[in-house]
Structure 1
């Protein structure tokens, strides 16, 4: 009887340790992704980097390089945002951004600055922006097609991002 009681206690203890809460799968976006574009007129690469920190937070940094994979010379834009990915529907937002003076009018004279010299701007989305996000079959790239907001003419052009880590 004593052995039966010990066996029962051991079975209960083992079942407690073997049961764990099932964790939600982590976002396939987690990690660093880059879109690199060469600008002929400026003779520089503009690099848009998304760092997906966890299942809901990401950082965006837009930097300038002399070569596609070289060292960043400085920053054009930086922000932290929040996102949600459901199938191919990507919703995102950010409220604080830091950018160089005359961000939308780039020239060789005001193309980039050290991160600590970026200027604070606040943005208030009247609606939560959305995009269609499609992964490549190997999961190492995604294409982002953002919905058009009234002030952004580039939104209808898809951008391809490659995983860098």
Structure 2
């Protein structure tokens, strides 16, 4: 997912907002490199209101933060194999499966997929910085009770979560399952 975030950060730096991110717009090249496709093609999917709303907040204009939200929902879907739920306040409701991940990963996902735009990351540069902190074992981005001996273990869990995300998308894609049909 880091490659997807880097691609979107590049596009956003050049004034391009995707506006219709969904799992079927993330493709993998031969060496596992991710490719983001179908920029600004939301008109193409205009008849697909139900699916379109899965990865966007109702009535939110196309924006950098809307793209961050969409990738947050995709990450959630990859980890849980289902769509997220939100509380009345717009916060992401963490499933029991996600509660087993390090607190920093939960926080990253919760901020990306928050329905309240002001609580979301401002862009993918900020998302990437948070990912780098997580992978480096930043104390603010991991569980509070981690000890120095647990540092490698926490980092392994983060890497395993990221690898699971990528494997999940690839499996869905190659199996031709929704939304890759």
| TM-score normalised by L of structure 1 | 0.28
* Structure with the largest fraction of helix: 2
* Structure with the largest fraction of strand: 1
| TM-score normalised by L of structure 2 | 0.26
Work out which structure has the larger RCO, using CA pairs closer than 8 Å and 6 or more positions apart in sequence: 2
